[in-house]
Amino acid sequence: MNVIDRDGTLHWSEASVLVTGGTGSFGNKFVEIMLSRYHPRRLVVFSRDELKQSEMIARFNDPSLRFFVGDVRDQARLERAMHGVDVVFHAAALKQIPSCEYNPFEAIQTNVIGAENVINAAIDTGVKRVVMISTDKAVNPLNVYGATKLCAEKLFVQGNAYGYGRGTVFGVVRYGNVIASRGSVIPIFATQRTSGTVTVTDPGMTRFWIRLEQGVAFAIRCAEIMGGGEIFVPKIPSMRILDLVEAVAPGCKVEFIGMRPGEKLHEVLVAEEECRQVLEFEDMFLLEPIYPSWAFRAREGGKRPGAGFRYSSDTNSWWLSPVEMREFVRD
């Protein structure tokens, strides 16, 4: 059986899969779901952290797992790791906003040059499908992290111009804040709760939220349906920051400390300037490429939202209550 049929069906049990940044929050959940539900022939974890890799070896203890110590800044190492790989999920990134602001050269090396290296290595080693994990910070970015992820999105979309003719296609998954992931505000509120006071930058702030398992499942689904050049955006709920405080640290005093540099009051997953590219489906939006120089085919079944459309956390029609967020955090 082929890994990918003529109709585009992807057979995971026959596939060799690699995830960059594989010891991070996304990578750990991705490995868990892949091993329990999809049973790939081989699953490669590519990351810089040997300690976290050893912890994952002890946790999963699965014969299909392989571990490569390496950095996405090193294209030769990526090529070695991708030998015989069919599908790649690119989740490696420097994503701590203050750190990226202070170390912009480093953020560019990993988030932009690293993305280029993944693209080149995938094409040169014959990988069939590559999915990049992006963020709402890439939309109209105000900080270095968002700007580097926007550049990476552009590279991945246009990477199809080089890869499509050689059998390698690229797509992007863009979603919002991951509940309880490293660097999210939820663990910060949980820690501050013990003092009786939590710090909030602005009382009017809203954010998109997605569960880690949901984000991983969405990325896997997009790998199954992608044709090359799409940016996939799931429909996910918003939450007001004060409702989040009530969910995580009920009864605590709130201290307002002002907006931080590069921070937005509301976050956007589809900008108004992107509305002409958008197709809306029941559970997601799909952004078509602006300059498809390859054999791009539009997806059928979606509807055009129309001029002026934007998908923003403050105008969203789906809102999480404090009770619902408590359930998500507990899970």
Q: What is the mean pLDDT of residues 306-316?
A: 94
Q: Quick one: the chain helix, strand, coil %, rounded to 5?
A: 40, 20, 35
Q: What is the mean pLDDT of residues 305-324?
A: 93
Is pLDDT of 93 > 90?
Answer: yes
From CA 94, how far away is CA 201, in angstroms rounded? 23
Domain ranges of the chain: 12-178+209-235+269-312
Does the active-site annotation cover 137? Answer: yes
So what's the pLDDT on residue 1? 64
Give the residue, 114 or 295, on which the prediction is more confident: 114
From CA 162, how far away is CA 241, in angstroms rounded? 43
pTM: 0.95
From CA 73, how far away is CA 302, in angstroms rounded? 38
Q: Which CATH superfamily is domain 12-178+209-235+269-312 in?
A: NAD(P)-binding Rossmann-like Domain (3.40.50.720)
Q: Which of 29, 95, 128, 137 is catalytic?
A: 137
Q: In what order do the strands lie in the sheet with 206-210?
A: 177-178, 206-210, 238-240
Sign of CA dihedral 198, 201, 204, 210: negative
Q: Which of 97-106, 151-160, 210-219, 258-267 has the lowest mean pLDDT?
A: 258-267
So what's the pLDDT on residue 298? 85
Per-residue pLDDT tens digits for 12-57: 999 999 999 999 999 999 999 999 999 999 999 999 999 999 999 9
Q: Which of 77, 101, 3 is nearest to 92 (CA)?
A: 77
So what's the pLDDT on residue 185? 85
Q: What is the mean pLDDT of residues 80-89?
A: 98
Give the residue, 38 or 327, on which the prediction is more confident: 38
Per DSSP, helices labelled H in 193-321 are 212-225, 241-248
The kind and range of the H/E element at 208 are: strand 206-210
Helix (H, G, I), strand (E, B) or coil at 119: helix
Is pLDDT of 331 > 70?
Answer: no
So what's the pLDDT on residue 103? 97
Q: What is the mean pLDDT of residues 180-193?
A: 81
Helix (H, G, I), strand (E, B) or coil at 269: strand
Pair of tokens at residue 181: 């992931």
So what's the pLDDT on residue 183? 65
So what's the pLDDT on residue 21? 97
Per-residue pLDDT band at 75 (split at 50, 70, 90): very high
Number of helical (H) and strand (E) elements in the chain, helices listed first = 12, 16
User: Looking at the chain, how many residues does it have?
Assistant: 331
Unique residue bearing structure tokens 């070896």: 57
Burial of 209 (C-beta count, 10 Å sphere; 0-12/13-18/19+) = buried
Q: What is the mean pLDDT of residues 135-163?
A: 97
